[in-house]
Amino acid sequence: MEEEGEEERAMESFLKWAAELGISDSPSTNRPQLFRSSLGYSLCVSHFPQSGGRGLGALRDLRRGELILKVPKSALMTSESVMEDNHLAIAVNRHPSLSFAQILVVCLLYEMGKGKTSKWHPYLKHLPQAYDILATFGEFEKEALQLDEARWVTEAAVLKAKSEWKGANGLMQELNLKPKLLTFKAWLWAAATISSRTLHIPWDEAGCLCPVGDLFNYDAPGKEPSHLEEVQCLQPNTFFQATILSNGDNTTIADAEQLDSHFERLTDGGFEEDVDAYCFYARENYKKGEQVLLCYGTYTNLELLEHYGFLLPENPNDKIFIPLEPDIYSSSSWSKESLYIHHNGEPSFSLVSALRLWATPQNNRRSVGHLAYSGSQLSSDNEIFVMKWLSKTCRAVLENLPTSIDEDMLLLNAMDSSQDLCTFLGKTKLLSCREEICAFLEANDLQNEDSFIDVLLSRKARRSMDKWKLAVQWRVKYKKVLTDCISYCNEIIRSLLRMDET
Ligand SMILES: C[S@@+](CC[C@H](N)C(=O)[O-])C[C@H]1O[C@@H](n2cnc3c(N)ncnc32)[C@H](O)[C@@H]1O
């Protein structure tokens, strides 16, 4: 309780600091609460346990397209703004081979090293202490992903982080960073902060850290109405419209064009040169109390895990890849990346087309190519062969995995309902994934029976379990897509056989 009160007070002082920098969720520049808090008119900081934890809630009904938050350029933490510190700028310039991202990581660590004297101290204090992006996964959590595709992505992420850290080491030594800030652990923390919190800016490909603006949790794209609906939906009194229409006669073509270009970026947000600020707009209508979300981009669940350390239970942009024979890739001109299965189990247009061609005798492929590329079935026999092959391949992948969806679900249940290690071990005693549980204990130095006396998990073990849980959630989603694909194929086979009979 006391802790909560303290957290609230700390957040209040952060929002007051943000207001002093001109960050505001109100269109009016002379509202009474100015300099008291940057929020309070449209948004408030709240907790949403099911979708992202700390986030921003609507303080009133919000209309799609309405400006809800503005963060002036001077409040953004970018490499450029941190390098106003001459000592840092001179040192960075001596290392021209570093990437934009490496420079921003060093800037963040450098600023952390300043402690209370940093201009951004109130902001830095509120950053998460730990992250779950794939680069932070250890061997155990990587193995728990079970699928090669995911293990490779994890391995590559870890290697990339290590090599970027090593590459920036010379600069960090020159800057005399405290030993704690020179470690790979500190680098991973800063790199994960950059990966999961930066917003796009036109002048630096590493992006910017945006106080308050980085409190929006993620919503997947894909359900926005068309532009036409957007126009109808906008209220004439929104701050956004007031800003552009105040420039003059709203019937001029120039204004109409300006309006069009504004519609392009209406949902979510972006840096706007004309107001020299990052502006955020409501991406849909929100009722008072609902969480206001931001779309960071289009990501599969594996990409969300890689860059942001979470996944969506229902992700309309999820896709999975299955192992395909080399002949399949070479029998058509579809790219490898286009041959996947959608989140709902339907094979992609290109995958079906490629399989139809591959299942056609080589000497006939030329004559049916135009049909296959336009998405037509080639024949009932060809279609049944393709669907049977796809269903068999999905089943083989499922059978080769060490655990079933049901076992994974039991494991997830045990994780969710156990407060301590003894309970967890009791609940998982009869599960067939004993090997995996032993690997968790080993990875966290918990094999010794004595460690069970201390029933509460160490911080390290709790962090490992959080990542383990994400890995299991990811593999369950993968397996569900395979199962749905098998059902989809079987349904098509059944309907084709019925048609053949009649
Ligand atoms: C830009 S921050 C958003 C604010 C963040 N929740 C905080 O407390 O600072 C992005 C991070 O929030 C979390 N997050 C955002 N959207 C989420 C969602 N829909 N489900 C679960 N976690 C989410 C992830 O940890 C992600 O890396």
Give me the DSSP letters along 214-261. Answer: GGPEE--SS-PPPHHHHHHH--TT-HHHHHHHTTS-TTSHHHHHHHHH
Among 161, 188, 209, the domain-final residue is 209
Q: 294 CA to middle of ligand 1, Å? A: 10
What's the CA gap between 277 and 275, in Å, rounded? 5
DSSP state of 41: S
> What are the φ and ψ backbone dihedral angles of 293, each rounded to 5 degrees?
-115, 165
Q: Is residue 124 part of a domain?
A: yes
Residues 129 and 150 both lie in one domain:
yes
AA letter at 272 = E
Q: Is residue 352 part of a domain?
A: yes
Low-confidence ranges of the chain (pLDDT < 70): 1-3, 29-35, 223-267, 448-456
Supply the pLDDT for residue 234. 34
Q: Return the ligand 1 atom nearest residue 219 CA.
A: 19
Residues 250 and 205 both lie in one domain:
no
Residues 235 and 123 both lie in one domain:
no
Q: Is residue 18 part of a domain?
A: yes
Residues 383 and 475 both lie in one domain:
yes
Residues 105 and 244 both lie in one domain:
no
Q: Is residue 309 part of a domain?
A: no
Q: Is residue 40 part of a domain?
A: yes
Residues 347 and 425 both lie in one domain:
yes
CATH number of 389's domain: 3.90.1420
Q: Atom 15 in ligand 1: which residue has the minimum CA distance?
A: 217
Residue 210 makes CB contacts below 8 A (sequence gap 6+) with 71, 75, 76, 77, 197, 198, 199, 278
52 touches ligand 1 (CB under 6 Å): yes
Q: Which two tokens stand for residue 200?
A: 């796009």
Q: Atom 22 in ligand 1: which residue has the minimum CA distance?
A: 52
Total domains in the chain come to 3
SS3 55: strand
Among 278, 294, 310, the domain-final residue is 294
197 touches ligand 1 (CB under 6 Å): yes
Is 255:249 a contact under the CB 8 Å cutoff?
Answer: yes
Region of 462 please: left (phi>0), alpha (psi -120 to 50) or beta: alpha
Q: Which two tokens stand for residue 72?
A: 């002036």
Among 262, 294, 326, the domain-final residue is 294
Supply the pLDDT for residue 56. 98
Q: Is residue 306 part of a domain?
A: no
Q: Is residue 448 part of a domain?
A: yes
Q: What is the pLDDT of residues 397-422, one digit of tens each?
A: 999 999 999 999 999 999 998 888 88
Residues 44 and 83 both lie in one domain:
no
Supply the pLDDT for residue 263. 43
Q: Atom 8 in ligand 1: which residue has the minimum CA distance?
A: 54
51 touches ligand 1 (CB under 6 Å): yes
Q: What is the pLDDT of residues 259-281, one digit of tens each?
A: 334 444 445 899 999 999 999 99
Element (H, E) at 294: strand 291-294
Residues 357 and 384 both lie in one domain:
yes
In this structure, the chain runs to a length of 502
Q: Atom 26 in ligand 1: which residue has the minimum CA distance?
A: 308
User: 236, 313, 231, 305: which is closest to 267 by C-alpha?
Assistant: 231
Residues 488 and 348 both lie in one domain:
yes
Supply the pLDDT for residue 253. 33
Residues 268 and 396 both lie in one domain:
no
Q: Is residue 9 part of a domain?
A: yes
Supply the pLDDT for residue 264. 42
Q: Ligand 1 pocket: which of 39, 218, 315, 317 to mutate (most atoms <8 Å of CB)?
A: 218
Residues 134 and 267 both lie in one domain:
no
Instruction: State pTM to two decimals.
Output: 0.90
Q: 219 CA to middle of ligand 1, Å? A: 10
- What ipTM was estimated for this complex? 0.99
213 touches ligand 1 (CB under 6 Å): no
What's the CA gap between 333 and 80, in Å, rounded? 44
Which residues span the domain enclosing 115? 79-209
309 touches ligand 1 (CB under 6 Å): yes
